[in-house]
Structure 1
Amino acid sequence: MSHPFEDLPTTPTAEEVIDKAFSRAARAGKAKTGIEGQQSMLQTASNIVSDNLQNVVTAWPDIDTLDPFYVELADAIITSNVEGEGGIDALRQHLSEVQWASRKAKDIHSEYQGRMTGDADTARKLRKQAFARMADIVEEVEDDLAGISAARDALKTLPDIRPDEPTIVVAGYPNVGKSSFVNLVTNARNETASYPFTTTQIRVGHVERDRIRYQLVDTPGLLDRPEAERNDIESQAVSAVEHLADAVLVFLDASGNCGYPIEVQLELRDALEDRFDAPVLTIANKADLTRDVEADHYMSVTEGDNVDGVLDAAIEAVGYEIELPFDDE
């Protein structure tokens, strides 16, 4: 499956909803005369307004049923990308307001439809009053529609990460061999996409073992520096990744060729061990140059030494088992 925000339709503006409702109503009114024509116009306008606003709401997934990974990530993305927005709670409020406006359009129809008796002139005046009130209702949620639209635009660019797949997160300072490892052990169709709140790209690769597909995720810009250097949005994104990880590989380069002393690399490793509930394995890469660090596994990506062994260890740490249907009898 793709991510839950990928297929969200374009959100109409308040002006677009009003224009569509009243132009359709005008056409409907031409098909009938007198009171019936006015009633038909009112019914059409009400249906268009109510349905279009309701569609905005129902197009969104139920936030309460989403995987926590997506909730936290969406919250971070909306907060960082939509000016003046308060994250996922603001989106909930916008959707609630638009839902209210959808119901209100139906209420206006019910209120006026029964009063359209007597002569056609009176019916026309009542219909115009109803139209004015409907337009006011839609304009009242103009900012809500704009907020929903901005959130939708930001979330459509999410990387295709799947919380339902067993996931190995690859962490460590830059230039320690993370992306080389992911590229080597996964298929050649690795996806790269940007988090909407960083300039760096997330890398996602897949490997299949015993008919189980494992997802390897490298998150440059997030898990490659100390927490103190992350801003609030990036820290929240790390919280999202915590929900995702079934195992974490922390790469070290004891040779120092990566440009970071081994001491700071180990500090990052310790911080990640403290933060993640999932198993955290210490992987000393570039072991062909030096093994002068304590680690769970040693390898050299460039030499192809023990790369499969590290992958096997990660898969074992995940401990994922396919749930098979079984018979109690």
Structure 2
Amino acid sequence: MSHPFENLPTTPRAEEILDKAFSRATRASGSKTGIEAQQSMLMTASNIISDNLENVATQWPTIDELDPFYVELADAVVSETDPADDDPGIDALKQHLSNISWAGRKAKEIRQEYEGRVVRSDVDTSRKLRKQAFARMADITEQVAEDLEAVSKARDALKGLPDIRPDEPVIVVAGYPNVGKSSFVNRVTRADNEIASYPFTTTQIRVGHVEADRIRYQLVDTPGLLDRPPEERNEIESQAISALEHLADTVLVLVDPSGECGYPLAQQLELRDDIESLFDAPVLTIGNKSDRSTDVEADHFMSVTEGDNVQEVLDAAIEAVDWEIELPFSDE
């Protein structure tokens, strides 16, 4: 199962829709003459315009029915695609889709309005009426040109969201840069399960997987999000963190008591306290680089580079998640 935006088709531009509609309308009338030719052109152009516009809207998932994680993360991503918009974000996207759907319906209404008049007219009048209908359909399509462009940008950005599944347990790995987060995730993730990097604004969300007792756990590393104080995060990054709050079943905050990461231990612990205040899930403090120092109060110690106690830390995270498989039947 992919994430809800992964398979969205390319969004056509207004000019592309009109070029396609009118060129095919011309070809459709090639074997016909008189009023029949005008009818065929009107029907073909209307169908192409209305189908293309309505398909743009209907092929998107229903936003309000998505998991809150994807709603909030999409809101943050879409805000980034058009920061100049007075009302950016998921609500603006929904309005763009609504406008496009309206234009598709309007193209049908224009055809219905003109087809009876075309049939009842002489050849010259029917040609004029068909041209009037084309002009109105073109005007309607051009009215939503900016909506189509905005939806196209949103689609391109949202296709890059990570495939994080709300129905599987999530372990978030946090901490300052250079404390060993990515090394830990790399080490515990199965060798045959690639850790993918996904673009998100100026940062990345990296997702790896590990299985234990027939349960697949998702390990989420968030460079650029949960690796610095809250006052240094912009609004969009804070919103992305809010999205993660919906998913996290436990959080591992890695600290480097040796200070070799470049950040004082006190500063690292302040970040840990901030993360504890954000998440309702269990937060475990993990002292990494234990071969260098264990001078910190932590739930567990490990050294990823030396391979010391790494599996034990993963086991502790899984235990904190406390996830049970839902059986398809029950005795109750």
TM-score band, normalised by shorter chain:
over 0.9
Q: What amino acid maps onto 2:199 in structure 1?
A: Y
Is the 8 Å Cα contact of residues 284 and 298 (structure 1) preserved in structure 2?
yes
Q: 1:84-95 maps to which residues of 2 (within 5 A)? A: 84-85=84-85, 86-95=88-97
Is the 8 Å Cα contact of residues 192 and 201 (structure 1) preserved in structure 2?
no
Q: Percent identity?
A: 73
> How far is 1:103 from its partner?
0.4
Is the 8 Å Cα contact of residues 186 and 195 (structure 2) preserved in structure 1?
no
Partner residue, 2:75: 75
Partner residue, 1:185: 188
Partner residue, 2:268: 265
SS at match of 1:245: coil
Say which of 88, 104, 107 aligns to 2:106.
Answer: 104
Counterpart CA distance in 2 for 1:195 and 1:232 is 17
> How far is 1:108 from its partner?
0.6
Partner residue, 1:281: 284
Counterpart CA distance in 2 for 1:322 and 1:59 is 33
Say which of 176, 180, 188 aligns to 2:179.
Answer: 176
More deviation in 32-41 or 163-172?
32-41
Is the 8 Å Cα contact of residues 183 and 190 (structure 1) preserved in structure 2?
no
Partner residue, 2:253: 250
> How far is 1:327 from its partner?
4.7
Q: 1:288-299 maps to which residues of 2 (within 5 A)? A: 288-299=291-302
Distance change in 2, residues 1:83/1:229 (3 Å)? closer
Counterpart CA distance in 1 for 2:331 and 2:165 is 31
SS at match of 1:216: strand
2:328 equivalent to 1:325: yes
SS at match of 1:60: coil
Partner residue, 2:133: 130
2:308 equivalent to 1:305: yes
Counterpart CA distance in 1 for 2:131 and 2:174 is 63
Q: 1:47-58 maps to which residues of 2 (within 5 A)? A: 47-58=47-58
Q: What amino acid maps onto 1:317 in structure 2?
A: A
* CA deviation string 1:258-295 (max 9, x = no partner): 22111111111111001001111111112233322111
| Number of residue pairs aligned between Structure 1 and Structure 2 | 328
> How far is 1:115 from its partner?
1.5
Counterpart CA distance in 2 for 1:286 and 1:294 is 14
Q: What amino acid maps onto 2:265 in structure 1?
A: I
SS at match of 1:176: coil
> How far is 1:308 from its partner?
1.2
Is the 8 Å Cα contact of residues 193 and 201 (structure 1) preserved in structure 2?
yes
Counterpart CA distance in 2 for 1:220 and 1:150 is 24
> How far is 1:211 from its partner?
1.1
> How far is 1:133 from its partner?
0.7
Q: What amino acid maps onto 1:165 in structure 2?
A: E
2:14 equivalent to 1:17: no
Distance change in 2, residues 1:266/1:83 (3 Å)? closer
Counterpart CA distance in 1 for 2:199 and 2:230 is 18
Counterpart CA distance in 1 for 2:188 and 2:150 is 41
* CA deviation string 1:152-210 (max 9, x = no partner): 12222223333332110000111112111111111234323243311x44322111011
Counterpart CA distance in 2 for 1:308 and 1:154 is 36
Q: What amino acid maps onto 2:81 in structure 1?
A: N
Counterpart CA distance in 2 for 1:232 and 1:151 is 18
More deviation in 89-98 or 70-79?
70-79
**Cα-Cα RMSD:** 1.6
Q: 1:204-243 maps to which residues of 2 (within 5 A)? A: 204-243=207-246
Q: 1:56-71 maps to which residues of 2 (within 5 A)? A: 56-71=56-71
SS at match of 2:4: coil
> How far is 1:254 from its partner?
1.4
Counterpart CA distance in 2 for 1:38 and 1:201 is 54
> How far is 1:328 from its partner?
5.0
Q: What amino acid maps onto 2:201 in structure 1?
A: F
Partner residue, 2:3: 3
SS at match of 1:291: coil
Q: Which runs of 4+ in 1 moved over 3 A?
A: none
Structure 2 unaligned blocks of 5 or more: none
TM-score relative to the length of structure 2: 0.94
